[in-house]
Amino acid sequence: MRKPLGSVMDKKDFMSDGIFDKEPYEGLLISARSDGKLDIGIQLTQDTVLKVDEAYGEEIRDKIAHWTPQILAIQRQWGESPDLQNYDG
């Protein structure tokens, strides 16, 4: 079952639905689904992800440009202080 936008989920669940996963910027996660849609999430803690958006194909570049500058603000808004210095991807 797909989680709706704005859902906080376990990082393993966010990544497990994807046919490939990528982290183009620290804290921003991309997971490709078998239907061609890309899920975009912001890592709140080492184990939790907030699903913030979806995209198809070339839309992903614009979506990454949109979400990347917002990563820290969203993490703070959700009351998380991500300690990613020991981040293992």
Q: In what order do the strands lie in the sheet with 37-43?
A: 8-10, 48-56, 37-43, 28-32, 20-25
- Tens of pLDDT, residues 34-75: 888 999 999 999 899 999 999 998 899 999 999 999 999 999
Distance (Å, rounded) from C-alpha 82 to C-alpha 39? 21
Amino acid at 70: Q
Under a CB-based contact definition with an 8 Å cutoff, are residues 67 and 52 in contact?
yes
The pTM (predicted TM-score) of the whole model is 0.79
Under a CB-based contact definition with an 8 Å cutoff, are residues 45 and 82 in contact?
yes
Q: What is the DSSP letter of 6?
A: T
51 forms beta bridges with 41
What pLDDT, on the 0 to 100 scale, is given for residue 74? 92
